[in-house]
């Protein structure tokens, strides 16, 4: 089933610059459900590769592309790889209860667990821990401290006790584990996602920049790679990871387990700011509207959480179980949409987080894009129009966080879809231009036909000459929208 191009002339404007990622699942798998999510405000659909069969995911991809054609707006597909899953074994009686101060052993045997021990079938963990290392079980509900580490077992003291049952997860926050981010399952899922035409690949269990480099080598330019920051080691190597990645996700689930919870908000702000400086899209994820899995309205704290991510300038905010298995997926998207629009309309939106352009505009293309924002705001232009073949010009425009809409024109459908996750993007696939006059004329026509401009308005245009040269933004032009254009 070959995807059909999005119509060239469409009303693609969102009344919101922050993008919304919705995870798909049993609550959101039909054409009607996906169309309702997209209409409510979802810009990106996430496929969680941890669950479900490939044939079901392939059907979802076809449905997404059908919705895309129906609504006339590029939709990005984000395939989220599972990554290594570290778990303990099983217990003879299904579960035990540990108390503070108890002695408990983790070992490599596959015998059923008892009150004193349980198997942990991951030899890589034993090679990376020492006395004093903390091991977290069941999302940190049970905490152990290693007192004696050997190659086949670790004797521990229970620091925080509780009920422990079969196959609960294991986290080792203060160790870099000798594990690759891509498992054999991930490699199969990656090949499948690329075959289906996924636009973004989210890489789990990133500990070092080399993990991203390996994934990018396998992807080979067929999709953009997003590094999920969910481990302390990744936070330490953040600059290198951002440099190699096409985008970053603040995965607050495991991050909140392995880092003290009070550090997570500061880490989130740090990641957002560094990604904005680098011109890389950044997504804030996990438990944003968790209560809406069962409730038609969110808590006030959840609304504040979404608002904070928007105010900090995140490119996108993400729904997980809320839209995948929740009872109110459409309502959850609608809440995110309303919160984002409200925050973006506040007078001081982004005022305190405007980037110092002097830190990155030493290149011609950066300086031109920074000037485009300043000019657009000075002359009250109705839009900034960018031409791009690789997406780099559009990313530079988004990094500036202009007050006016960004209209991006690209000849490549793959680029239009990738940019659906980027802050402020209004993207249209259209034929490329070959001359300056054609560039101006097409910018004027597209701005009008997309609903961003009308007769008498001014637009600011950026492009690269020679036309079609990736990343070569070296032209800034101001154009009037005259009556003949309309």
Cis upstream peptide for 109 (omega within 30°): no
Q: Select from 246, 229, 247 the least CA-distant residue to 238.
A: 229
Contact 117, 104 (CB under 8 A): yes
Residue burial 277-295, b: 16+ Cβ < 10 Å; e: rest: ebbbbbbbbbbbbbbbbeb
Neighbours of 371 (CB within 10 A): 16
Rg (CA), the chain: 24
Q: Count of H helices and E strands in the chain?
A: 16, 21
Contact 21, 43 (CB under 8 A): yes
Active site amino acids:
46, 87, 228, 286
- Count of alpha carbons within 13 Å of 181, Cβ hemisphere only? 29
Using CA atoms, how far apart are residues 23 and 90, in angstroms rounded to an integer? 30
Contacts of 271 (CB under 8 A, 6+ apart): 229, 238, 248, 250, 282
């Amino acid at each position: 089933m070959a995807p059909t191009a999005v119509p060239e002339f469409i009303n693609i404007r969102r009344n919101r610059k922050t993008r919304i990622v919705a995870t798909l699942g049993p609550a959101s798998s039909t054409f009607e459900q996906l169309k309702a999510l997209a209409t409510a405000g979802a810009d990106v659909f996430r496929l969680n590769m941890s669950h479900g069969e490939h044939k079901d995911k392939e059907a979802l991809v076809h449905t997404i592309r059908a919705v895309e054609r129906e609504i006339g707006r590029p939709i990005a597909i984000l395939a989220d790889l599972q990554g290594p899953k570290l778990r303990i074994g099983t217990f003879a009686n299904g579960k035990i209860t540990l108390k503070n101060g108890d002695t408990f052993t983790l070992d490599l045997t596959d015998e059923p667990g008892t009150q004193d021990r349980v198997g942990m079938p991951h030899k890589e963990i034993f090679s990376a821990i020492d006395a004093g290392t903390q091991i977290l079980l069941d999302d940190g509900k049970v905490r152990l401290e290693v007192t004696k580490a050997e190659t086949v077992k670790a004797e521990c003291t229970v620091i925080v006790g509780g009920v422990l049952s079969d196959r609960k997860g294991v986290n080792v926050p203060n160790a870099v584990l000798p594990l690759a981010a891509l498992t054999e399952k991930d490699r199969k899922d990656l090949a499948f996602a690329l075959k289906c035409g996924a636009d973004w690949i989210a890489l789990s269990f990133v500990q070092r920049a080399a993990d991203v480099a390996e994934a990018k080598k396998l992807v080979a330019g067929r999709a953009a790679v997003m590094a999920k920051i969910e481990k302390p080691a990744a936070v330490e190597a953040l600059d290198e990871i951002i440099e190699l990645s096409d985008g970053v996700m603040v995965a607050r689930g495991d991050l909140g387990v392995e880092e003290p919870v009070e550090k997570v908000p500061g880490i989130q702000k740090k990641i957002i700011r560094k990604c904005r400086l680098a011109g890389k899209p950044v997504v804030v994820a996990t438990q944003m509207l968790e209560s809406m899995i069962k409730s038609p309205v969110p808590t006030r704290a959840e609304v504040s959480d979404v608002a904070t991510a928007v105010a900090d300038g995140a490119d996108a905010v993400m729904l997980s179980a809320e839209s995948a298995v929740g009872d109110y997926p459409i309502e959850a998207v609608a809440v995110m949409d309303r919160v984002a629009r409200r925050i973006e309309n506040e007078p001081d939106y982004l005022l305190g987080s405007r980037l110092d352009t002097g830190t990155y505009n030493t290149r011609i293309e950066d300086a031109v894009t920074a000037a485009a924002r300043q000019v657009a705001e000075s002359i009250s232009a109705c839009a900034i129009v960018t031409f791009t073949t690789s997406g780099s010009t559009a990313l530079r425009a988004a990094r500036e966080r202009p007050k006016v809409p960004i209209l991006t024109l690209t000849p490549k459908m793959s680029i239009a879809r990738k940019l659906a996750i980027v802050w402020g993007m209004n993207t249209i696939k259209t034929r490329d231009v070959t001359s300056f006059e054609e560039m101006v004329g097409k910018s004027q026509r597209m701005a009008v036909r997309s609903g961003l401009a009308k007769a008498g308005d001014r637009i600011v245009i950026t492009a690269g000459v020679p036309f079609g040269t990736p990343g070569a933004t070296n032209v800034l032009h101001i154009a009037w929208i005259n009556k003949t254009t309309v």
